Amino acid sequence: MAQLSSGHLSGLKVAVTGASGNVGTALLRALAKGGAAEVRGLARRQPPETEPYDGARWYLTDLSEPDSEQVLAEFLDGVDAVVHLAWALLPDRQPDLLHRVNVQGTERVLAAAGAAGVQHVVHMSSLGAYAAGPQERPIQEDWPITGIPSSTYSRQKSTCELAVQEFAATYPDTIVSVTRPTLVLQPEAASEIGRYFLGPYLFPLARLLPGEVARLLPLPLPGSLRISFVHAEDVADAIARILDRRAAGPFNLSASPVLDADGLARALGARRIPVPAVVLRTGMQAAFLAHVLQIEAGWLDMGLGIPPLDASRARTALDWRPAHKGDDLLREFVAALGRGQGGQGPLLFPGTGPEHTPA
């Protein structure tokens, strides 16, 4: 892998929304390593005065609120690039709130970037923007971005990509880049992600069960599952390369291997129990309605429907190679989850509550 030299972002002023979250924290470190001239971070809550947050100038606002437009104007004034990471995963039970944060928030960021004349806009999308398809062959960036209709997350990712396309057509002189990573993990975000997806009942259980006991528990998985992971540090590295090379267009980001149901169980050290997808979905939806799970069954539809990602464009155009293998990353993440590990930021800290937060 071609190594990025220290100082390769020298002179660049970069603004990052959602800068205290999973990818945001990793990106702040990458920008500091790259020697960015100025880094501005946008968040709802003030991060602590610790590394890497102490290297950014912070602006506090909630993108779901109209008055955030005033903060955005100041936030983007004079910057060379904006990386839009802010995204709310919860509450799934309030799709209107998620729409205000994610869709309207993205629209506000794009409008502010256009008004400020920002030269480069990087939008953090997801594999969730893609339509369903056969699982046998990984898809490239030209796959339809019409989403999975039953998933709120997927529908909103697709909607935001359409807004980005409209922005690019309106501002043809602006470089517009889109990252579409697969599931993004890092041990430092174990508590944050665990709270999101396991919820208030299962998350404490995951932390209490000894590793040996947890590995004996059955893991119900349908045979059609195909899934991969990518480390937040590798996503941040890709974004730094996009900024460095002023690379436009969409980029899939995924690390090998693609895990099937048996491979996922092996990586977790668990016993897989084969179960039809419809049975698992019914159980998930029942748990969601009973408030045992915080996430809707549409997440399973997305996981089973969207094909694996082909990241060859990032390898070719950015010289990007993930430093972390997906199965190793998953094992490290689960171990960190069991230890109750987290980071120092307001989102990554183990004691933070599961309210809606920019990711």
What pLDDT score was predicted for residue 189?
A: 72
pLDDT over 80 at 202, yes or no? no
What pLDDT score was predicted for residue 296?
A: 93
**Averaged over 309-326, what is the pLDDT?**
97
CA dist 83 and 257 (Å) reads 28
The single-letter code of the amino acid at 45 is R
What pLDDT score was predicted for residue 206?
A: 57
| 285, 242 Cβ separation under 8 angstroms | no
**Averaged over 120-127, what is the pLDDT?**
98
Q: Could you tell me which of 232, 89, 86, 58 has the C-alpha nearest to residue 152? A: 89
Sign of CA dihedral 337, 342, 346, 351: positive
pLDDT over 50 at 293, yes or no? yes
What pLDDT score was predicted for residue 348?
A: 53
What pLDDT score was predicted for residue 1?
A: 53
The full DSSP string for 138-181 is: -B-TTS-----TT-HHHHHHHHHHHHHHHHHHH-TTSEEEEEEE
What pLDDT score was predicted for residue 354?
A: 41
Confidence of residue 198 (pLDDT cuts 50, 70, 90): low
pLDDT in tens, 12-41: 999 999 999 999 999 999 999 999 999 999
What pLDDT score was predicted for residue 336?
A: 80
The single-letter code of the amino acid at 150 is S
Confidence of residue 155 (pLDDT cuts 50, 70, 90): very high
pLDDT in tens, 176-195: 999 999 999 988 877 777 76
Confidence of residue 294 (pLDDT cuts 50, 70, 90): confident
**Averaged over 257-283, what is the pLDDT?**
90
pLDDT over 70 at 357, yes or no? no
What pLDDT score was predicted for residue 80?
A: 98
Q: Which residues contact 68 (CB under 8 A, 6 or more apart)?
A: 61, 62, 105, 108
What pLDDT score was predicted for residue 356?
A: 37
Q: How many CB atoms lie within 10 A of CB 319?
A: 13
pLDDT over 50 at 284, yes or no? yes
Q: What would the CATH number be for the domain defined by 13-186+228-256+307-323?
A: 3.40.50.720
Q: Could you tell me which of 56, 49, 84, 51 has the C-alpha nearest to residue 68? A: 84
What pLDDT score was predicted for residue 76?
A: 98
Domain residue extents for the chain:
13-186+228-256+307-323
Q: Average pLDDT over the chain, rounded to whole?
A: 89
What pLDDT score was predicted for residue 355?
A: 41
**CA geometry: angle at 308 spanning 155 and 236, to 5°?**
80
Flag whether the pTM goes above 0.95.
no
CA distances from 92 to 98, 144, 275, 297 (A): 8, 24, 25, 10
| 225, 267 Cβ separation under 8 angstroms | no
What pLDDT score was predicted for residue 344?
A: 59
Lowest mean pLDDT among 131-145, 223-237, 271-285, 343-357: 343-357
Confidence of residue 5 (pLDDT cuts 50, 70, 90): low
What pLDDT score was predicted for residue 188?
A: 81
Q: Which residue has the higher pLDDT, 168 or 265?
A: 168
Q: How many CB atoms lie within 10 A of CB 87?
A: 27
**Averaged over 147-156, what is the pLDDT?**
97
What pLDDT score was predicted for residue 345?
A: 59
Lowest mean pLDDT among 86-90, 308-312, 319-323: 86-90
Q: Could you tell me which of 122, 105, 100 has the C-alpha nearest to residue 168? A: 122
